[in-house]
């Protein structure tokens, strides 16, 4: 299968290449794609070297699937051109997520919605992905009424510039800044741009995307998203109010059986999910599972995942795997 990776030189693009290799996706020919300034650079994949081409050049090479990770502008411009050429696009930007004509997919949650007509498929926001994988089986069993989520998000979610800022600050060096404030030894309660309602765009993404992926607009969601000086993964404190009551041990068992979830919940032995433990893993880790004693039929969870893997690259590759398995590419 001919596979194009658009944005192959970026943080998520590099991770996509790693995940494609690790999961033995049936790549017969890799087409690494990046901007004009990266044209001709060499990318190594499974011991072979491939030259980077531009997005326009890649269309002519007729890949079967193109995994986009080059920002919303590139996706808006090129995804329709690829689709027009018969190439299936899995897009990692926010460009198509809330487009009613495009599917927003987390394979373990709503992979069944994919069809042959879907030529541009949206990969959700990283913080939404890890949350809905956990919400899905609980919604099926107890019916979710409301979710309150606070996130603790890794600097890797912003990109290389943010990682460099953190490392420069830690080393006491001046350098280029991704954030308006110091991130080392600090937290910034601001991810993406502020909206008229006082929420940030990241917070609104979590609210709207959760409803779309879960296929249920009756679930009320509110979010506060925060950047912290951590690498390796995003963490989330999730408070879930259900219509029906639950047994905490049964909740643990349901989550343990959910595809893509690992329960790490043994407070007596200080076992709970942390970003450093999620780093490099494809699964979502969940722990601190307990009843909210301030309100009936309400549960508290702590959810952690590697935002560059399940939150981006792995989910995109899993969508491609599902398309392949269904014979859609």
Query: What's the pLDDT score for residue 308?
Result: 93
For 214, phi then psi, to 5°, come to: -75, -15
DSSP 8-state symbol, 313 = I
Q: Look up the CATH number of domain 2-123+312-326.
A: 3.40.50.720
pLDDT at 11: 86
Dump the DSSP string for 254-266.
HHHHSTTEEE--B
The response to whether 237 counts as a known ligand-binding position is: no
| 153 is an annotated ligand-binding site residue | yes
Mean pLDDT on 262-290 = 97
Query: How far is CA 322 from each of CA 75, 256, 280, 315, 325, rounded to the nearest angstrom?
Result: 21, 22, 21, 10, 5
Q: What is the DSSP string of 30-92?
A: EEEE--GGGTT-EEEETTEEEE-B-HHHHHHT--SEEEE-S-HHHHHHHHHHHHHTT-EEEE-
From the list 240, 267, 260, the residue with the least C-alpha distance to 251 is 240
Is 38 labelled a binding residue?
Answer: yes
Whether CATH 3.90.700.10 fits 127-154+187-305: no
Residue 188's DSSP bridge partners are 227
In the chain, domain spans: 2-123+312-326, 127-154+187-305
Is residue 64 within 8 Å of residue 81, measured between CB atoms? no
**Is the pLDDT reported for residue 157 higher than 90?**
yes
The pLDDT mean for the chain works out to 96
Is residue 279 annotated as a catalytic residue, yes or no? no
* pLDDT at residue 125 greater than cutoff 90: yes
Given 126, 139, 279, 324, which residue is catalytic? Answer: 126
In the Cβ-directed half-sphere of 105, how many Cα atoms lie within 13 Å?
Answer: 27
Confidence of residue 137 (pLDDT cuts 50, 70, 90): very high
Q: List, in order, residues 6 or more apart from 23 with CB less than 8 Å away.
A: 317, 321
Q: Which of 190, 234, 279, 324 is catalytic?
A: 234
CA neighbor of 214 nearest in space, from 115, 128, 125, 314: 128
In the annotation, is 234 catalytic?
yes
Q: Is 81 annotated as a binding residue?
A: no
Whether residue 73 is annotated as binding a ligand: the answer is no
| 157/155 Cα distance (integer angstroms) | 5
Least trusted range by pLDDT, from 39-48, 135-144, 256-265, 298-307 = 39-48
Residue 227 marked as a ligand binder: yes
């Amino acid at each position: 299968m001919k596979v194009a990776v658009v944005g192959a030189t970026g943080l998520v693009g590099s991770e996509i290449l790693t995940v494609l290799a690790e999961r033995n996706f049936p790549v017969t020919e890799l087409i690494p794609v990046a901007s004009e300034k990266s044209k001709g650079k060499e990318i190594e994949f499974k011991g072979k070297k491939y030259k980077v081409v531009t997005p326009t050049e890649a269309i002519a090479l007729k890949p079967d699937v193109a995994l986009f990770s080059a920002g919303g502008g590139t996706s808006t411009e090129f995804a329709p051109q690829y689709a027009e050429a018969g190439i299936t696009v899995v897009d990692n930007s926010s460009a198509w997520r809330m487009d009613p004509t495009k599917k927003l997919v987390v394979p373990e949650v709503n992979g069944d919605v994919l069809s042959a007509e879907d030529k541009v498929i949206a990969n959700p926001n990283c913080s939404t992905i890890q949350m809905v994988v956990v919400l899905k089986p609980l919604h099926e069993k107890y019916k979710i009424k409301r979710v309150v989520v606070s996130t603790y998000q890794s600097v890797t979610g912003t990109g290389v510039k943010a990682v460099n800022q953190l490392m420069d600050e830690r080393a006491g060096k001046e350098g280029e800044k991704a954030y308006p404030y110091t991130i080392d030894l600090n937290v910034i309660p601001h991810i993406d741009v502020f909206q008229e309602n006082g929420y940030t765009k990241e917070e609104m993404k979590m609210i709207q995307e959760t409803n779309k992926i879960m296929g249920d607009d009756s679930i009320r969601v509110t979010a506060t998203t925060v950047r912290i000086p951590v690498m390796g993964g995003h963490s989330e404190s999730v408070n879930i109010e259900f219509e029906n009551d639950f047994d905490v041990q049964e909740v643990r068992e349901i989550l343990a059986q959910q595809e893509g979830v690992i329960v790490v919940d043994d407070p007596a032995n200080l076992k709970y999910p942390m970003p450093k433990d999620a780093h490099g893993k494809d699964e979502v880790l969940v722990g601190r599972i307990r009843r909210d004693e301030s309100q009936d039929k309400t549960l508290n969870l702590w959810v952690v995942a590697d935002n560059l893997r399940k939150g981006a690259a792995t989910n995109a590759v899993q969508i491609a795997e599902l398309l392949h398995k269904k014979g859609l590419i």
